[in-house]
């Protein structure tokens, strides 16, 4: 048995007892939301509640898949709360100028990731890094920064362990550049992880403007962090 398949089999066995929370997705969401929910931000959080409901009902979703679904929702809710709190505490962040931004756009599998990576090598550009996108913040100490980077390394290692082909399709490193996938809260990532038709229909009918506004505020926050 290949090592990736063996690791996935063992992980599913270990996580099976916890996967019972799929039977009560709203309760699971409420527990997650305690760690990251902003008053007055119900449209954002309600979208993730709906997503978790659909994930819970997805056919053939494994215990590892359910754990990944909860982690996905938790990360986005926590990051949203953190970014909004940072902007509230440091309103000058939104006044930070971003001069001559560069956008890479294109259809899937047309070398946009490669182009983005090449641009990131230039000293003239500043690309967000994987660890920054997974855990945004104005880190007060080198120790906090190292902790965030270490956590991102573990996350990338786990992705590569359970989905080794990802290294060929979309290679990532914790301290390497990454695209807007992690910036857009209701991105296409869930649709690549499970068959969830109801969420797909909701996703394509909704207004994406708030997502892009949030992404832009995230980008301004990143420009304000002088590391």
Tens-place pLDDT, residues 154-173: 999 999 988 888 888 889 99
How far apart, in whole angstroms, are the C-alpha atoms of residue 6 and residue 10?
6
Q: How far is residue 171's CA from residue 168's CA, in Å, rounded to a whole number?
A: 6
Residues 6+ apart with CB under 8 A from 18: 63, 66, 67
What is the per-residue burial (b if ≥16 Cβ within 10 Å, else e) of 126-154?
Answer: ebbbbbbbbbbbebeeeeebeebbeebee
The model's pLDDT over 124-157, given as tens digits with 9 standing for 90+, comes to: 888 889 999 998 888 768 898 999 999 999 999 9
Residues contacting 127, CB < 8 A, separation 6+: 116, 119, 120, 177, 178
Q: What are the boundaries of each domain within the chain?
A: 3-224
The residues pairing with 129 across neighbouring beta strands, listed in sequence order, are 177
Q: Which residues contact 217 (CB under 8 A, 6 or more apart)?
A: 83, 87, 94
In this model, does residue 226 exceed pLDDT 50? Answer: no
The pLDDT tens digits of the residues spanning 35-59 come to 677 777 888 889 999 999 999 999 8
Distance in angstroms (rounded) separating the CA atoms of residues 80 and 74:
10
H/E segment holding residue 34: none
Whether 126 and 97 have beta carbons less than 8 Å apart is answered as no
| Sign of the CA dihedral with 125 first, then 121, 185, and 106 last | positive
User: pLDDT at position 52, please?
Assistant: 96
Backbone angles phi, psi at 180, to 5 degrees: -80, 0
* Alpha helices, DSSP H, located in the chain: 3-15, 25-33, 42-56, 63-89, 112-120, 130-134, 142-162, 166-169, 189-193, 197-205, 209-224
Q: Is the pLDDT of residue 62 over 70?
A: yes
Instruction: Name the pTM for this structure.
Output: 0.86
- What topology is assigned to 3-224 in CATH? Rossmann fold (3.40.50)
**Residue 200: its pLDDT value, please?**
94
**Phi, psi (5° rounding) for residue 59?**
-70, 145
Q: 177: helix, coil or strand? A: strand
């Amino acid at each position: 048995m290949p090592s990736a398949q063996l690791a996935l089999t063992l992980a599913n066995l270990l996580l099976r007892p916890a996967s019972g929370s799929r039977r009560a997705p709203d309760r699971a969401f409420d527990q997650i939301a305690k760690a990251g929910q902003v008053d007055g931000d119900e449209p954002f959080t309600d979208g993730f509640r709906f997503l978790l409901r659909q994930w819970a009902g997805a056919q053939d979703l494994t215990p590892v898949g359910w754990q990944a679904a909860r982690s996905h929702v938790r990360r986005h809710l926590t990051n949203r709360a953190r970014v909004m709190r940072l902007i509230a505490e440091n309103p000058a962040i939104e006044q930070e100028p971003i001069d001559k931004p560069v956008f890479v756009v294109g259809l899937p599998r047309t070398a946009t990731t490669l182009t983005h990576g090449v641009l990131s090598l230039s000293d003239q550009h500043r690309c967000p890094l994987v660890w920054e996108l997974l855990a945004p913040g104005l880190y007060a100490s080198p120790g906090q920064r190292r902790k965030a980077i270490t956590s991102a390394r573990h996350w990338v290692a786990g992705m590569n362990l359970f989905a080794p082909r990802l290294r060929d399709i979309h290679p990532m490193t914790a301290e390497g550049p990454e695209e807007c996938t992690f910036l857009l809260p209701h991105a296409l990532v869930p649709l690549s992880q499970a068959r969830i038709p109801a969420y797909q229909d909701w996703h394509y009918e909704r207004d994406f403007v708030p997502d892009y506004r949030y992404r832009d505020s995230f980008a301004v926050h990143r420009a304000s962090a002088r590391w």
